[in-house]
Chain A
Amino acid sequence: MNFSKILFYICLSLSTVLSIMGYSRSSLWQGGVISLIITAGWLLAGAKFASACLTGSVCLAAAGILLKAPPMFMFLYVSLSLASWDITMMELSIGSNTKEKKVDLYRYIRYLVLTMVLCMGLSAVIIGRHLSLKIPFLAMVILVVLFIAGFDRIIYYLRKKL
Chain B
Amino acid sequence: MSSKILLVGAIIFGLFVTSLIFRNGDLMWMAIIFIVYMGTGIALSPTDKDICLQTRRYVKKTGKSCAFFVEMTLEICNKGRKGICLRLSDPLLEGMKIIDGSLKMCVYLRPGKKAELNYTFNAVRGRFAWHKSLIMAGDPFGLAESGVELNDMIEIFIQPQFKKFKPVFFRPWKTLSSIGLVPSRAGGFGTDFWGIRDYHPGDPLKLLDWRLAARHPHKYYIKEFVQEKTAEIAILLDGREKMNLVINKESIYDIEVKAAASLAEMFIRQGHRVSLFAIGEILRYVLPAYGKIQLNRILNCLSGVRSGSGSLENIPVEHISNKSIIMVLSPVDFNDIYFYKRLKSNGFDVILISPDVYDFSEIDNGNDKIGDLAFRASCLERGINLNLISRLSVSVVDWHVKEPLPPLIQKTFIRNQRLRRI
Contacts and interface: CB of A to CB of B under 8 A. Distances in A.
A110 interface: yes
A10 interface: no
B30 interface: yes
- Interface size class on chain A is 35 or more
Nearest to B37: A117
Interface stretch (A19-27, A30-38, A40-48, A94-102): A94-102
B16 to A, nearest CB: 7
B109 A82 contact: no
A141 B47 CA distance: 32
A13 interface: no
B102 interface: yes
Contacts of B7: 51, 54-55
Contact of B24 (A65, A105, A106): A65
Interface string A98-123: 01101101100110011011101110
Interface string A138-158: 000100100000010011001
A52 to B, nearest CB: 10
A44 B395 CA distance: 63
A7 interface: no
A161 to B, nearest CB: 9
Given A89-B142, A102-B115, A106-B140, A162 B33 contact: no
Given A97-B118, A97-B119, A162 B44 contact: yes
A109 B20 CA distance: 36
B176 interface: no
B147 interface: no
B34 A97 contact: no
Contact of B32 (A99, A103, A128, A155): A128
Nearest to B136: A93
A99 B71 CA distance: 15
B106 A94 contact: yes
A157 B34 CA distance: 20
Contacts of A78: 30, 33
A71 B39 contact: no
Nearest to A58: B11
Interface string B11-29: 1001110101011111101
Interface string B130-164: 00000000001110000000000000000000000
A103 B36 contact: no
A34 B27 CA distance: 19
Nearest first, the 10 A-B pairs at minimum CB distance are A95-B102, A121-B33, A158-B43, A102-B107, A121-B36, A97-B102, A106-B108, A95-B104, A97-B105, A71-B26
Interface of A: 51, 54-55, 58, 61-62, 65-66, 71, 74-75, 78-79, 82, 86, 89-90, 93-97, 99-100, 102-103, 105-106, 109-110, 113-114, 116-118, 120-122, 124-125, 128-129, 137, 141, 144, 151, 154-155, 158-159, 162
Interface of B: 3-4, 7, 11, 14-16, 18, 20, 22-27, 29-30, 32-37, 39-40, 42-45, 47, 85, 87, 101-109, 113, 115-119, 140-142
8 contacts: A54-B11, A62-B27, A65-B26, A96-B102, A100-B118, A106-B140, A109-B108, A109-B140
